[in-house]
Amino acid sequence: MEQIKWAVNKMPKTADTNLPIMGLEEIKKARTFHESFPQYSKTPLTKLDQMAAYLGVKEVYIKDESYRFGLNAFKVLGGSFAMARFIASETGKDVSELPYAVLTSDKLREEFGQATFFTATDGNHGRGVAWSANRLGQKAVVHMPKGSTQTRLENIAKEGAQVDIQEMNYDDCVRLAAKEADETERGVIVQDTAWDGYEEIPSWIMQGYGTMAMEAGEQLKDYGCDRPTHVFVQAGVGSLAGAVVGYFTNLYPDNPPTFVVVEADVAACLYKGAAAGDGDPRIVDGDMQTIMAGLACGEPNTISWDILKNHVTVFIAAPDWVAAKGMRMLAAPIKGDAPVTSGESGAAPFGALAAMTTMDDYKDLRQAIGLDENSKVLLFSTEGDTDPDRYKNIVWEGKEK
C-alpha cells in the first residue's frame, strides 16, 4: 500500500496581503447573494459522535455539500458569485444590488447583454458555471480533461453548455479555455485558479466558497462548539483551501485552528512546495490519474498559495486508498451516526484523519498537528456521488478505481 506523505510547513511567511480577500464583511456579501437564490438552504453540518470516539478525538464535524442547490457539490457557490461580480462591474453596480431576482430579470439582461463564460473542469466547477449561466441567460463553454467521466459531461450538457472532453490534462484545459475566451467577443474566463494577471475573478470565486465556511462556523456554534481545534480541507489548485483557511483565520484571529491541507498524491503541487520549504510554488504535470478527479490539478492558485503558506501547519499527499477509505467509513459509520454520501474528492480529508488516528505508521503525523482526545475537527465533504457508478464501485464493490 502506498504511503501517505506529509510536509510540516516551514516556509517563510509573507506580508499576508491576500488574507483580506476572505475578510468577514466580504464573505457576508457573498452569503447574502447566495441567500437570495430560491434554491438556497444551508447544507448540513453532520456531527459524528461515535466516529469521534472511535478515532480518539473529542468531536468530528462534516460539512455535507452533497445538498448544495441540488447540484451535489459546493462549486456552484464560487462560479455564481464570480459571474454576478463580473456582471455588476460591467453594469456599474455593486453586487449587493444584484440579488437573484434582479440578476435573472429581463431588464438586467437587456442592460448587460450576453457574454460567453469559458471554464475548465473535472465536473463540479463546470457544472456550477453552466448552471449559473443557464439561469442568467448567458452562454457557457466547458472543457474537461482526459479521463473525465461521461456522467459528469452529461450533467454539464443538461445545463445547456457547450462541453467536451479534451485529450489533455486539467491545467492544459485551463490554458485552452483562457485562449478561447481571449479570442471570443465578450468571452470571459471563469476559473478558480489564479496566475499573474488573472487574479480578480479567482478571488471572487474564493469569496463565493466563503458562504460554505461561514455556514459551518455558525453551525458549529449551534452545536455548542465555539471554535474547532483543527480544520481539514482538500486542495486541487488550492482555491477552496485558501478560502477556508483564509475565512477561519479571519474568524478566529487571536487563536486560529490548526489547518491541514490534503491533496491527491499524483497532483500534490502544494505538498511539493511545502516540502521544498523555500516558499516558491511547485508545478506537477502529466496525466495525474487519480480517483480524486476534482483534485487532479498540478498548478497552484497564486492567491491561495500565499494564504496557505502563511497559515497551514501540514500539507498531506494522499494516495487513492485514503479517499476510498474515507468514502466507505462515511457511507457506513458507527451505529448512532448519520451516514454521509461523500465522493472521491469529498472524502479525502476524512480518510486522512482516519488513517492518522488509527494507523501506527502515521503516529508522527498525528503528533505533528497535535491531534488528541481534546481535538474538535471540522472537515468539508465537498461533493456527493457526482459519478454514481464510480461511487458504487468504490463503496459497494470495494474497488479503488
Query: Which residues carry out catalysis?
Result: 75, 122
Distance CA 244, CA 224 (A): 20
Q: Return the SS3 of 29.
A: helix
In 3D, which of 189, 187, 169 has the Cα closest to residue 125? 189
Residues making up the chain, counted from first to last: 401
Please state, as a whole number, how many other Cβ atoms lie within 10 Å of the Cβ of residue 196.
6
Cross-strand partners of 45: 63
Burial class (CB in 10 A: 0-12, 13-18, 19+), 92: exposed
Strands across the sheet with 230-234, in order? 5-8, 312-318, 258-264, 230-234, 376-381, 59-64, 45-47
Rounded to 10 degrees, the C-alpha dihedral 205/285/276/349 comes to 50
Q: Where are the beta strands (DSSP E) in 298-400?
A: 312-318, 376-381
Cross-strand partners of 162: 141
**Do 264 and 318 touch, CB atoms closer than 8 A?**
yes
**Do 201 and 77 touch, CB atoms closer than 8 A?**
no
CA angle 29, 62, 291 (to 5 degrees): 100
H-assigned helices in 252-337: 269-276, 302-311, 320-331
Q: Return the SS3 of 305.
A: helix
Q: Which residue matches cell numbers 445547456? A: 160
Distance CA 157, CA 88 (A): 27
